[in-house]
């Protein structure tokens, strides 16, 4: 089972791939109000009233979120046929995550919205499954892990497409933050540990 510590390969890998995303996402700041509704319902919401400029007079740090390199895809093979495309059971992908941050005193709480897609391969089937998703908050200058958590997102596949999009919200990302913690990054990805297949739920 993958472990998140300062020696973990999941944490140690190069951070260079997220530098550009870090710059852009930091500029975005804290997610706008209503982000969760927009995320869960595809953004098809009525236009909000003009924002009160006073809301922007006080800024709050919100770490950028990025897909951890190497965990953006989930490929599950029939046992004994790993690496053979003809025996793929399921394949999952992930989209760019969204997040919302709140800080009270020295405690930061974050909601992370994760979206992705699961499709059945040649050896797949319809049904209800869960896919393992991990969120980790890492301090970049020393690779220390402030938070790590694993949850399972439900996904249902049905005929005739045997494919489905899913959206899931991690709403319990809470950790202590120091005043000079301004180089954090929120990583999301499929968990690399076992079991290696989606778990049926019905």
Structure tokens at 114: 């994760």
Res 12: pLDDT: 42
Residue 150: closest CA among 100, 95, 106, 194: 194
The DSSP 8-state label assigned to residue 82 in this structure reads T
pLDDT tens over the chain, length 202 residues: 333 343 344 444 433 344 344 434 443 434 444 555 566 566 544 445 555 443 443 458 999 999 999 999 999 888 888 887 888 889 999 999 999 999 999 999 999 999 999 999 988 899 999 999 999 999 999 999 999 999 999 999 999 999 999 999 999 899 999 888 999 999 999 985 754 455 666 5
Res 4: pLDDT: 38
Question: Residue 39 contacts by C-beta under 8 Å, 6 or more apart in sequence?
Answer: 98, 113, 115, 167, 169
Res 165: pLDDT: 94
**Pair type for strands 98-104 and 107-120:** antiparallel
First to last CA, the chain: 25
What is the rounded CA–CA span in Å between residue 193 and residue 77?
Answer: 15
User: Hey, where are the domains in the chain?
Assistant: 9-192
């Amino acid at each position: 089972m993958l472990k998140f510590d300062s020696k973990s390969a999941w944490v140690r890998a190069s951070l260079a791939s997220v530098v550009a995303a870090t710059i852009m996402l930091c500029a975005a700041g804290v997610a706008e109000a209503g982000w969760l509704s927009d995320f869960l319902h595809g953004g098809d919401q009525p236009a909000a009233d003009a924002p009160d400029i006073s809301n922007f007079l006080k800024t709050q740090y919100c770490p950028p979120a990025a897909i951890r390199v190497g965990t953006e895809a989930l490929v599950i093979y029939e046992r004994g046929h790993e690496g053979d495309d003809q025996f793929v059971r399921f394949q999952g992908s992930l989209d760019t995550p969204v997040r919302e941050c709140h800080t009270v005193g020295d405690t930061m709480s974050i909601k992370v919205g994760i979206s992705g897609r699961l499709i059945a391969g040649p050896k797949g089937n319809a049904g209800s499954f869960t896919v393992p998703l991990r969120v980790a908050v890492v301090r970049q200058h020393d690779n220390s892990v402030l938070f790590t958590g694993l949850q399972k997102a439900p996904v249902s596949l049905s005929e005739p497409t045997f494919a489905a999009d899913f959206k899931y919200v991690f709403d319990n990302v809470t950790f202590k933050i120091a005043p000079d913690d301004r180089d954090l990054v929120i990583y999301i990805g499929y968990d690399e540990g076992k079991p290696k297949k989606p778990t049926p739920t019905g």
